[in-house]
Amino acid sequence: MTFFTLALGLDGEPTDTRVTHGPMLGRPAADSMSLWLRTARPGKFVVFYGTDKNDLSKTATLKSTSINRDNTGILTLSGLQPNTHYRIADHQLDGSFRTLPRSADF
C-alpha cells in the first residue's frame, strides 16, 4: 500500500487546490502586479516567481479563495523587478510580465 500527501508550496508537486481559470494579470505598478485566479473549490494557491525563469525561488501564497467570490482570489506580488517570470503551483502554464517603468529611470 502506498501513502502520499498532496503538497502545497513545493514547485513541481501536486496540490490540493486546482486552478480552473487564470491567471489574469492586472493592476501593474513599477514594482508590483496582481494575479487573479479561480479554483475548482475553495483553497489556497502558491505563485513561484523570479527574474530568472529557471530559478523561481520566491513564493507568494493566497491563503484561500472563497465560495462567496465564486472561488476566485487576487494575489498581489510586490517588490518586483522588471521582466519577472512566474508559475502557479501545480499548474501547467507559466508566464512572465513587465512592471511599469519607474519615473526615475527616464
Residue 94 has pLDDT above 90, yes or no: no
Pick the CATH number of 19-92 from 2.40.50.140, 2.60.40.380, 3.20.20.70, 2.30.130.10: 2.60.40.380
Q: If pLDDT is split at 50, 70 and 90, which confidence band does 2 have?
A: very low
Please name every residue paired with 39 in a beta bridge, in sequence order, or none if there are none. 19
pLDDT at 16: 74
The domain limits of the chain are 19-92
Highest mean pLDDT among 1-5, 72-76, 92-96: 72-76
Mean pLDDT across 1-6? 34
The three cell numbers locating residue 90: 501545480
Q: pLDDT grade, residue 100 (50/70/90)?
A: confident
Beta strands in 27-97 (DSSP E): 32-39, 45-50, 58-62, 72-78, 84-88, 94-97
